[in-house]
Structure 1
Amino acid sequence: MKEQKRFPVVGMRCAGCAHSVEQAASKVEGISDANVQLAENILSVSVDERLASAEDLRRAIRSIGFDLIVEDSEAEQLRRRDAMEAAELRRMKRDTIIAWSSAILLMVLMLMPHFQMMPYLMMLVALPGYAWTGRAFHRSALKQLRHGVFSMDTLVSLSTTISFFYSLVVLLFFREGPAGMKLHLYFDASAMIIAFVLLGKLMEKRAGRSTGQAIRELMRLQPAEALVVRNGRETVMPIAALIGGDLVRVRPGEQIPVDGIVTEGCSSVQESMISGEPLPREKEAGSMVFSGTINGSGVLTVQATHVGSDTVLGRIIRTVREAQASKAPIQRLADRIAGIFVPIVIGLSILTYIIWQLTRAADASVYGLLCAISVLVIACPCALGLATPTALVVGIGRSARNGILVRNAEALERFATIDAVVLDKTGTLTIGKPELTGIDWFVSDTDVPKVRRLLYSAEILSTHPLAAAICRAFAEDGKTEELSEVQNFPGRGIEFTFEGEVYRVGNQAFIEKLGAQIPTDIAALPEDAAVLYFSRAERLLGRFCVTDELQPQAAEVLAQLHRHGIRTIMLTGDRPEAAEALARKLGLQHYRGGMMPSDKADYIRMLKDKGHHVAMVGDGVNDSEALSTADVSVAMGDGSHIAMEVAGITLMRSDLRLLPAALELSRATRRTVKENLFWAMCYNLIAIPIAAGLLFPVNGFLLNPAIAGAAMAFSSISVVTNSLRLRTKRLPLLR
């Protein structure tokens, strides 16, 4: 039995590090599906606990120079990770100060008039910069080398070690090269490379912490304790100790710790952190409340229905985490390139040195070594590895803050490319609260009460959205009959048996299959009404007209989608006449009525066969086949568990304006990913040849290895900074 687990990783600095961790984890027996999310430093794995333990995995990760936090409690994992990250940040600050002190002192020495002991003094000044502040790079590179893996640490350690020990050998054993050629010392390069790389990594780490801000904000919504009422006594208990059915008392201004039903009290509750809806909602006995929301001025007693990770907030956090940890198709390609990048760069560095030797130019050995070191330093797998995940983490986080829950990175990437949106009617284009507006009985007045009870008994078991209208209208006495052989037929209706006779509730075609006939002299229907029929065998018992109010912003949203170049199509199971009337109101050109769930799925397949990229928007409960057929499924919901399970994207409140907002954000995220990848690719394609000495025959330019280190640091910082722009970038459809 395999279980999906997540562990924070300590010490990763680049895409090569992430690739090394994935490789090491995959080699552990019982571990599979290893996946590192570099932006958050999280390793996700499937663990067969019969074959492997968390400690086995930790030993494998530690053997290549990193560490894994394996505490059982997720809260404890995060506490330890935050503590270790804070300690790592302090160490990096201290090392950066020491490295730059060494580098600046070396620059001062280089500006001074030469004296006999200057080279020895420069060696002593460079030593702490190379050996002490660079120890993390050297230690990690050696451990990885023993396992045949490479990362940015390898490049930094190799380049600075060559610089320092080449200079040391020249200083101690040689004064001149062949034919009296003066040999140069590069103690300054070894120290300054470390200084620039550390400064870049420090800035990158500080900026990178901001990319995961959204998930940390969500986690802060979870209170640590709750006031529980047991046996008439109030007790403060940790959240982990709560169980379903517990009574929890919530005082004014406190966060609600569970999902549950209010049993006592009335108050207003601020739910913006869950749904994005800015206005508080009034709550009273019988109302549903959610974990993480904030109670207003009243005292509420809540009976818990879901606790801990099973609450809506817990599921949102889990979904956002999984989405941020998932990899979009474009990222998998970048990861494959990053995985082989370091060995290729080492090969290019060696090739650079050989080519310089073949030129037989004066100072070819010195220039060749300088260029080889510059190639090692300037090449940056980090920018390539960070290009996609940082943009996705920020984009998915901003989506969550605006009530748009993205299930995985692939859904976000695909949504940016859609050119056709298929919309269900009920609960999507309408507000989803159908009302019974007309009743025609075809039974005697004395039989009506019994027929009403049968109808109510059936509809409370129905999954069809229109059934709610019947239930609300006939629920006054709350009496039900015991039905047998109940069957739901999605998109058509419900069938049951009572006292040996078969009954059906549903659309016209559904009851006609049982032999029921619709009278020809029946009154005409309102053109925009949906209709349900109730029959016993071949006899029609009743007809019910149901109407649902349009979403106030539906027409505006459809116009916005049209301006974005999106084709919009309404598919509904309602009568074609009702579909046409609604389409006229909304200005829709493409619509179909009388469609079964399978018909909707077939229509989406037809659109895809014509080359369209299709999103299906529904309520997340019905139309599961159509939702799964579309390139991207979008569920309209108010945070329901079902909606979050079935959809690639869930709109956390029933506000259709979130749909074009989600489209706008997905396109902005995709643009940012492309910008990052373009920069990372162009940087390496341009910088490596220049570092190798490509411009030397043209204008005599050679790149100093220290400047190469600064350029490498800048490339990573620029990618992270560009991704962070998504947090504040003005998107007109988002708040």
Structure 2
Amino acid sequence: MKENTFKIEGMTCSSCAGHVEKATRKLEGVIEANVNLATEKLVVKFDEKKLSAKDIISTVENAGYKATAQEKVDTEKSENLREKEIKELWNRFIISLIFTGPLLIISMGHMVGYSLPSFISLEDSPRTFALVQLLLTTPVMLVGYKFFKVGVRTLLKGSPNMDSLIAIGTSAAYAYGIFAVIKIFQGYPRYAHDLYFESAATILLLITLGKYLESVSKGKTSEAIKKLMGLAPKTARVEVDGKEKVIPLEDVKAGDIVIVKPGDKIPVDGIVIEGSTAIDESMLTGESIPVEKTIDSEVIGASINKNGTIKYRATKVGKDTALAQIIKLVEDAQGSKAPIAKLADIISGYFVPVVIGLAIVSGLGWYFVTKDVEFALTIFISVLVIACPCALGLATPTAIMIGTGKGAEYGVLIKSGEALESAHKVQTVIFDKTGTITEGKPKVTDILVEGMITEEELLTIAASAEKGSEHPLGEAIVKEAEDRKIELKKLDKFVAIPGHGIEVIIDGKDIFLGNKKLMDRNSINLLDLEEKSNVLATEGKTPMFISINNKIAGIIAVADTVKENSKKAIEILHKMGVEVAMITGDNKKTAQAIATQVGIDRVFAEVLPKDKAAEVKRLQEEGRKVAMVGDGINDAPALAQSDVGIAIGSGTDVAIESADIVLMKSDLMDVPTAIKLSRETIKNIKQNLFWAFGYNVLGIPVAMGVLFLFGGPLLSPMIAGGAMSISSVSVITNALRLKGFKPNK
């Protein structure tokens, strides 16, 4: 199976998106096809043995639209085209306004007490009155030719869209106006009262303004991608034959030696081979503190070098860099559909043909009742113009675009619209312990001494003894000594005692370092340290005993320390009404100690890596929506099994690949942020759909004259046109409110 993304040109509403989907889904070999109106993209999953990208492009073109394969889309050119489209719409609006303004004064001035000069007044010069209106309306019709071009083409192909409604409505008004002008010139001046030119021109004017505002707003929804794309530098300084050379970013190859000076942006990903510095990675991780880099440290493209000159070997370039991967993740998410969008899609697919039918039926119905062509035409045009499915089509994708973009801004990468929607239903969050709630790296937490020995002396002996050991607990003791800049002593003897600890000789002293079993085996009296060691164990710490010449000298306790924000993140989840569980392979005592420390509700201890997914499934069988948060390879099955898999960004590639959401900062505070963002986005989508559906449910009957039947007002086609434009703009404006989203603190 292959997945391709295509840029689609020529779509104007959700009906267009539906027609493109329908056409591509009919192709043999297509597994799934989804169009996102806001991003103007088509994502197709297909069997490449039965189908090619060319076949898909050809099918889209036969449906009346233009398709371009995503990899062939020039982003800069695409952005320029958007800017050009916005400018063109503004120019069309200004030209339409120049002609529509005088037209409204001439056609409707007398209704508000404005008296026209006699040579163009309705009573004195009906011919001039009509002819001037025709001359003023024609340029507005011509400048809005795209509505007619697209509308008629899609109508003839049997897949009418919003432009078809506008084209039929305004053409009917314009054509009837020409008919009235002919009648006036034939000696029937009463037809001067039946002119519909101002309706046609005003509808086009208002819809063009609506389209302009929509295009500007849609541009704002994709700002997150623009910001990410703008992070990468345009050039790189590389070393060629011992000399520095500045080359375009796209020419950098894996293996090139890149030189970065203070203040420069890192061009591509790589590994430092010379120098040291601090690098600001906040644009990618959201972490404001610069990260120290020395030889063998990894550097990320688009981060900023703060204070030292470094040389590094490029490892990932082009589309393989971390930045490119993030941009792709965000683009894929913005182009994807949330399940909540399906209802709107189904309705949009039938919407336009139904509206045309309703317009014809209501127009003819009123004509037979009133025998008044003008009245019937008013109803016909109003129904066509007010019933635009744009707002329906934009309700979901615009909110998803802004929601996923906002997430990326805070270092929360949401991979799809489905993940964004699923997260708001989460009732239980399961955290893996090691490396997720805890740092994953044991640290010395307590040093207790017995007798005349000092803490530093005890640590010196223990670290010197463990220097040759590869045990993680021993490594933690050695690191503590290094951090305190303690000079280690030379060993005269080293014996590893499996399951117990080690025996060494330092400066002629016989030293045992290990667990209680080692001390018991050598008949060493622990004195009151035994009780203290039990207290340390209940706190989730591992006590290691040190004896010198068969006398107890002290305890060094080592523990995998809790991450700084773990407790706070869990508190916020509780406030949000979310249950929190922890899963670990550790023994129950250690697991319970960590759980108590951070406020965990449920603990799954002594769980083998292969059984983690089964524990997630067990919770789901209780009827709960479960999110799993993990970082290791052994978390991947559980991440895939959960309703929402959340991977820590510092975790393994396998975990990140299996997850629906990736936390770039590796900060658990971003778990409640992801859930809150999902809740806010879904709330926004529901508001948008409510207004979009509500607008049509209320607007269409009013346009059909239902209120008029009961003595109420009749909807003018001009007001219908304005209302239609406002509906689309209001939906996008509501979605833009998500830009004010702030994470939980």
TM-score w.r.t. the length of structure 2 is: 0.82
* SS of 1:548 mapped into structure 2: strand
Q: Is the 8 A contact 2:280 2:305 kept in 1?
A: yes
Give, as a single letter, the amino acid of the residue that structure 2 aligns with 1:399: G
CA distance in 2, matches of 1:602, 1:356: 66
Tell me the distance in 1 between the aligned counterparts of 2:224 and 2:260: 26
Say which of 383, 391, 395 aligns to 1:387. Answer: 395
In 1: Cα distance, 2:479 partner to 2:187 partner: 100
| Max Rg structure | 2
Provide the C-alpha distance between the structure 1 equivalents of 2:473 and 2:735, rounded to a whole number of angstroms. Answer: 47
Find the counterpart in structure 2 of residue 558 from structure 1: 570
For 2:584 and 2:721, locate their aligned partners in 1 and report how far apart those are by CA, in whole Å. 61
| Distance change in 2, residues 1:565/1:615 (3 Å) | same
Cα distance in 1, alignment partners of residues 15 and 245 from structure 2 = 50
Query: How many angstroms does 1:265 deviate by?
Result: 1.5
Aligned to 1:41: 40
Q: Deviations over 1:375-411 (max 9, x none)?
A: 1100121100100100010010000000101011111
- For residue 719 of structure 2, what is the aligned residue in structure 1? 707
Structure 2 residue 429 is the aligned partner of structure 1 residue 418? no
Shift of 1:659: 1.4
Q: 1:83 to 1:64 in 2, by over 3 A?
A: farther
Q: Identity of aligned pairs, percent? A: 38
- Given the alignment, which residue of 79, 82, 103 partners 2:79? 82
How far apart are the structure 2 equivalents of 1:631 and 1:333? Answer: 22
The aligned runs of 1:336-485 (5 Å cut-off) are 336-358=346-368, 360-361=369-370, 363=372, 365-435=373-443, 456=470
TM-score under structure 1 normalisation? 0.83
Tell whether the 8 Å contact from 1:405 to 1:651 is kept in structure 2 after alignment. Answer: yes
The Cα shift of 1:246 comes to 1.9
2:219 aligns with 209
Alignment match of 2:690 (pick from 678, 701, 714) = 678
- The secondary structure found in structure 2 opposite 1:160 is helix
Q: How does 1:522-537 map to 2 (within 5 A)?
A: 526-529=537-540
In 2: Cα distance, 1:21 partner to 1:585 partner: 55
Q: Distance in 2 between matches of 1:21 and 1:504?
A: 67
Question: Offset at 1:278?
Answer: 1.3
Question: For residue 236 of structure 1, what is the amino acid of its counterpart?
Answer: V
Q: 1:305 aligns with which of 315, 334, 337?
A: 315
AA at the equivalent of 1:93:
W
Between Structure 1 and Structure 2, how many residues are aligned? 661
Letter in 2 for 1:602: A
Matches within 5 A, 1:183-222: 184-222=194-232
Gaps of 5+ in 1: 440-450, 457-466, 477-502, 506-517, 534-543
Question: What secondary structure sits across from 2:258 in the alignment?
Answer: strand
Once residues 349 and 160 of structure 2 are traced to their aligned partners in structure 1, the CA distance between those partners, rounded to angstroms, is 8
Aligned to 1:158: 168
Match of 1:100 among 78, 85, 97: 97
Q: Residue type of the partner of 1:388? A: T
Quote how far apart the aligned CAs of 1:591 are: 1.6
- Within 2, Cα distance between the matches of 1:95 and 1:251? 49
Return the match for 1:260 from 261, 270, 277: 270
Partner of 1:602: 614
1:679–1:323 Cα change, 3 Å: same
Query: More displaced, 617-626 or 97-106?
Result: 617-626
Q: Given the alignment of the two structures, is residue 722 of structure 1 paired with residue 722 of structure 2, yes or no? A: no
Deviation at 1:581, TM superposition (A): 1.4
Aligned: 1:695 with 2:707: yes
Letter of the 2:719 partner, please give it.
I
Structure 1 pair 386/184, CA: closer, same or farther in 2 (3 Å)? same
1:121 aligns to 2:129 (yes or no): no
Q: C-alpha offsets along residues 454-500 of structure 1, whole Å, 9 cap, x if unaligned?
A: 985xxxxxxxxxx8667777999xxxxxxxxxxxxxxxxxxxxxxxx
Trace 1:630-709 onto structure 2 (pairs within 5 A).
630-638=642-650, 641-709=653-721
Distance 2:11 2:291 in 1: 44
Separation in 1, partners of 2:442, 2:415: 29
Going from structure 1 to structure 2, the CA distance change for 1:379 and 1:520 (only over 3 Å counts) comes to farther
2:419 and 2:543 map into 1 onto residues whose CA distance is 36
CA contact (8 A) 1:597 1:626 kept: no
Residues 610/54 of structure 1: CA separation in 2 closer, same or farther (3 Å cut):
closer
Distance 2:94 2:192 in 1: 33
Displacement of 1:236: 2.6
Distance 1:639 1:577, change over 3 A: closer
* Kept in 2: contact 1:15–1:335 (CA 8 A): yes
Change in 2 beyond 3 A, CA 1:264/1:551: same
Tell me the amino acid that sits aligned with residue 307 of structure 1: V
Q: Is the 8 A contact 2:382 2:715 kept in 1?
A: yes
- What amino acid is aligned across from residue 203 of structure 1 in structure 2? L
Q: SS state of the match for residue 690, structure 1?
A: helix
| Gap runs ≥5 in structure 2 | 110-115, 448-464, 481-497, 501-516, 522-529, 545-555
Aligned to 1:13: 12
**Shift in Å at residue 644 of structure 1?**
3.0
Q: Residue deviations 1:584-630, cap 9 Å, x none?
A: 22233322321223443333222222221111111153322221221
Q: 1:520-578 deviations in whole A, cap 9, x for unaligned?
A: 96787723447799xxxxxxxxxx98621112222222111111111111121111001
Residue equivalent to 2:149: 139
- 1:119: Cα distance to partner? 1.2
Distance 1:624 1:521, change over 3 A: farther
Give me the whole-angstrom Cα distance separating, in 1, the residues matched to 2:46 and 2:250.
24
Q: Report if aligned partners of 2:36, 2:335 keep a CA contact under 8 Å in 1.
A: yes
Residue 251 to residue 343, structure 1, CA distance change in 2 (3 Å): same
Report if aligned partners of 2:572, 2:744 keep a CA contact under 8 Å in 1.
no
Whether the 8 Å CA contact 1:529–1:545 is kept in 2: the answer is no
CA–CA distance in structure 1, aligned partners of residues 430 and 240 of structure 2: 50
CA distance, structure 1, for counterparts of residue 348 and residue 194 of structure 2? 34
Once residues 54 and 349 of structure 1 are traced to their aligned partners in structure 2, the CA distance between those partners, rounded to angstroms, is 39
- Change in 2 beyond 3 A, CA 1:521/1:73: farther
Deviations 1:220-263 (A, max 9, x none): 11223222223323333333333322211112222111211111
The Cα shift of 1:162 comes to 1.2
Secondary structure of 1:94 counterpart? helix
Distance of aligned partners of 1:182 and 1:221 in 2 relative to their CA distance in 1, 3 Å threshold: closer
Alignment of 1:171-320 (within 5 A): 171-173=181-183, 184-320=194-330
On the 8 A contact 1:528/1:547 being kept in 2, the answer is no
Which of 59-68 and 378-387 deviates more? 59-68
Distance 1:103 1:53 in 2: 49
CA distance in 1, matches of 2:337, 2:499: 47
Distance 2:202 2:710 in 1: 27
The one-letter amino acid paired with 1:248 is V
Distance between the aligned counterparts of 1:594 and 1:338, measured in 2? 52
Write the distance in 2 (CA, Å) between the matches of 1:33 and 1:57: 12
1:549 partner SS:
strand
Partner AA of 1:671 in structure 2: K
- For the residues of structure 2 that align with 1:677 and 1:35, how far apart are their CA atoms? 19
- Matched-pair contact (CA < 8 Å) for 1:240–1:308: yes
1:620 touches 1:647 (CA, 8 Å); kept in 2?
A: no
CA distance in 2, matches of 1:177, 1:612: 78
Q: Distance in 2 between matches of 1:454 and 1:306?
A: 36
State the Cα distance separating 1:689 from its structure 2 match.
Answer: 0.6
Cα distance between partner residues in 2 of 1:676 and 1:101:
34
Distance 2:318 2:310 in 1: 19
